[in-house]
Amino acid sequence: MSEQAQPTPFPRHLLHQSPQLRLDYFKAYTVAHPALKQADQAVWDALREPAGASLVFVFGPTGVGKTTLLAQIEKRLIDLSFCDERQGKKDLPALRLDAVSPALNLFKWSDYYQRALMLLREARVEYTVDYSHRLPLIHQGAIEQEPLPLKRMADTAALRLAFEQALKRRRPHAVLIDEAEHIAKAARGSKLLDQLDHLKSLAIMSKTVHVLVGTYDLMVFRNLSAQLSRRSIDIHFSRYCATDEAETRAFKSVLWSFQKNLPLEEEPDLLQYWKYCYERTIGCVGALKDWLTRALAQALERGEKTISRVLLEQHALSVDRCNQMVTEAVAGESALKEDDHAAYRLRVRLGLEARPASQQEGVSHKKEVSSDQVPREHHSRRVGQRKPHRDPVKDESAS
């Protein structure tokens, strides 16, 4: 790629702009690479026709570009709303928010609802509950009476009801939740199931599909129950694997696109360092973009003409951090793989495949031998050992 004469994609006039404008240009630049397009299409298909599903899970390694995916989906929903004549003035194309990491390692739904209501531009959340009737009271205009103080914030149930009503009124196409793995914080067993039941019920009651995007930690929500499995869709946003030739070419293509859009006087030849770039990003495009952004910011600040190998190394992730990233990524990828043995066992359980001969013989033998046909046990005795019997007792009175 580097040997081909290619025009510089970024506008040349940027070279005469301030370092901040040049940095902002690169931050806003995205590459429509194969993994991103595949995940984007899968989410879009799920939103267009959920077919009974109310939850969409998007799993991926850290740094793969999940936030970029959400921003892209949100933009498409906004563009779609402009073309929809049925879209009302109060309708919202999409609600996008973060599941904020809890301070005490326990996810709080009340905080989630408050943030969501604020994003929906509802009346100030602290004034949304009439405590005399314990019912949600969304103010459409000016507040005539003295507002309730912040310390009398609505409880979780009231906030949830207010959020449900707001979703029904604003009618977003989807609720997009980033860093959704935080919802599972400190939840185990039945509590974990309760968390997902809570979210599923909210999605059904509001008639709004919820898209949960997060790391592989979000996978704990998979297959908690048959009902939830039927109501959810799993989408894997994968990294690029160096063992796959096509994926290696895709990663190089992304790297080449980034180097062509670095607004510097001299274009850096990043392709000659592609293995090093892969090593310190484990094949994740989001991590690569963040890395190049840090290096670009430093180069612009110093007045450098290009990004050198030394500058790349200064801003690269450490080996330990990369090892941790690849450990988590491989574990998540392995958990998502469906092996042939599991599929075969499923077919056997459904009666679509015959049981192995050894198992059939064991089952038939158990059926043939009933409880009254169990052979009696025979205990061996040593040579000369007497058989058990009652010895005659001598009458001592006769003597």
Domains of the chain listed by start with CATH number: 34-139+149-236 (3.40.50.300), 241-336 (1.10.8)
| 139 Cβ neighbours under 8 A, 6+ residues apart | 123, 127, 128
In this prediction, residues 75-101 reach a mean pLDDT of 80
What does the pLDDT average to over 40-59? 93
Residue 2 has pLDDT above 60, yes or no: no
Query: 254 pLDDT exceeds 80?
Result: yes
Query: What Rg, from alpha-carbon coordinates, does the chain have?
Result: 32
- The pLDDT of residue 119 is above 60: yes
Give the residue-averaged pLDDT of 251-262.
Answer: 96
Contacts of 286 (CB under 8 A, 6+ apart): 63, 64, 65, 66, 67, 68
pLDDT of residue 87: 61
Q: How sure is the predictor about 149, in pLDDT bands with cuts at 50, 70 and 90?
A: very low
This model's pTM is above 0.85: no
- The answer to which of 147-156, 181-190, 272-281, 348-357 has the lowest mean pLDDT is 147-156
Q: For residue 383, what pLDDT is reported? A: 56
User: Would you say residue 238 has pLDDT above 50?
Assistant: yes
Q: Which of 61-75, 155-169, 358-372 has the lowest mean pLDDT?
A: 358-372
Q: Bigger pLDDT: 302 or 220?
A: 302
pLDDT > 70: percent of the chain: 75
Q: What is the pLDDT of residue 354?
A: 82
User: How many C-beta atoms surround the C-beta of residue 160 within 10 A?
Assistant: 22
Amino acid 394: pLDDT: 54
What pLDDT, on the 0 to 100 scale, is given for residue 360?
Answer: 56
- pLDDT higher for 227 or 319? 319
Q: What is the mean pLDDT of the chain?
A: 81
User: Which backbone phi and psi does 232 adopt, to 5 degrees?
Assistant: -135, 160
Q: Pick the most confident of 104-108, 148-152, 229-233.
A: 229-233
Tokens 């050198």 belong to residue: 308
Average pLDDT over residues 165-190: 84
Distance CA 72, CA 178 (A): 13
The answer on pLDDT for 169 being more than 70 is yes
Q: Tokens representing 269?
A: 């030849």
Residue 311 in this model has a pLDDT that exceeds 80: yes
Span 236-252, mean pLDDT?
97
pLDDT of residue 388: 60
Cα–Cα distance, 215 to 178 (Å, whole number): 10
Q: How many helices (H) and strands (E) does the chain have?
A: 14, 7
- Which candidate, 209, 210, 208, 215, places its Cα nearest to that of 236? 215
16, HSE (Cβ side, Cα atoms, 13 Å) = 3
Q: Which residue has the higher pLDDT, 146 or 224?
A: 224
CB under 8 Å to 28, separation ≥6 — which residues? none
